[in-house]
């Protein structure tokens, strides 16, 4: 009878010990889950820092990376992460993960993840023709899926700037950075209006532009009578103000 009672007590104690071990194990995440969580958090921080302006960020998981991280013990730590060049077209981003194990050994490996998001860019509010003057008011800022952007797009323009496009642009299309340039208000050899303002006195005359000129650009102008040259700032279509 005593032996049976002792066996029952022993079985109960074994069960309690096993339950306590299971609870302790459940309370602590396994190494792979912890490392993956830390890796994802650090990745997101680095991506936000290196890809400013990217909204609604979505970073995919990589099964190979998960399997690699699962091979480390619970004492392993993320040593660092290095980012490669992000492909806006397909969202692919090479990343190098560095892990230091419990023995101090450093392991590193490259993986490819997919990063999606939206960028705020300027969209044309009307059809724009190549070469015509355009301003900030001809565009509106909207978030666009990065994969739909073929190249670098403009996100901001100065309110007082005057520009032109080297291509036609339909309403709703993003403004491509490579197709934008300052609008040429003055052409070389053109007769321009020249203003000279000094000590409250304003004099208006004519001069010959020796260079092409965009808004606020300083060009050389020649006086057709005295044949002297002076520098003037472009302030409008065919109009300059003498600076010296």
pLDDT digits 0-9 by tens, 135-146 = 999 999 999 998
| Owning domain of residue 131 | 119-182
Last residue of a domain, one of 135, 161, 182: 182
Average model confidence (pLDDT) across the chain: 86
pLDDT at 242: 94
Last residue of a domain, one of 65, 95, 116: 116
**Nearest CA to 90 among 50, 45, 148, 47?**
148
Question: Strand pairing of 239-242 and 191-198?
Answer: parallel
Last residue of a domain, one of 87, 116, 145: 116
- Across the range 206-232, mean pLDDT stands at 94
- Whether the full predicted model's pTM is greater than 0.85, yes or no, is no
Whether the pLDDT of residue 13 is over 80: the answer is no
Find all residues with CB under 8 Å of 236, minimum gap 6, and list them: 185, 215
199: domain CATH number is: 2.30.30.760
Beta carbons within 10 angstroms of residue 99's beta carbon: 20
Same-domain check for residues 40 and 110 = yes
Report residue 1's pLDDT band, with 50, 70 and 90 as the boundaries.
Answer: low
């Amino acid at each position: 009878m005593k032996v049976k009672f002792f066996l029952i007590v022993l079985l109960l104690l074994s069960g309690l010990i096993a339950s306590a071990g299971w609870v302790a194990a459940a309370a602590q995440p396994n190494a792979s889950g912890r490392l993956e969580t830390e890796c994802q958090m650090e990745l997101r921080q680095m991506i936000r820092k290196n890809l400013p302006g990217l909204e609604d960020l979505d970073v995919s998981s990589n099964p190979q990376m998960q399997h690699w991280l699962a091979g480390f013990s619970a004492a392993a730590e993320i040593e660092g992460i290095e980012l490669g060049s992000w492909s806006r077209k397909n969202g692919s981003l090479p990343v190098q993960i560095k892990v230091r194990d419990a023995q101090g050994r450093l392991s590193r490996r490259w993986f490819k993840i997919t990063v999606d998001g939206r960028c705020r860019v300027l969209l044309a509010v009307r059809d724009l023709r190549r070469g015509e003057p355009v301003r900030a008011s001809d565009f509106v800022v909207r978030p666009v899926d990065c994969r739909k952007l073929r190249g670098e797009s403009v996100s901001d323009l100065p309110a007082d700037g005057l520009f032109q496009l080297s291509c036609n642009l339909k309403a709703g299309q993003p403004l491509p950075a490579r197709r934008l340039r300052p609008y040429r208000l003055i052409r070389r050899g053109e007769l321009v209006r020249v203003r000279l303002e000094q000590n409250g006195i304003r004099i208006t005359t004519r001069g010959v532009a020796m260079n092409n000129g965009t808004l606020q650009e300083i060009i050389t102008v020649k006086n057709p009578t005295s044949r002297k040259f002076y520098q003037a700032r472009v302030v409008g279509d065919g109009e300059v103000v003498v600076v010296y």
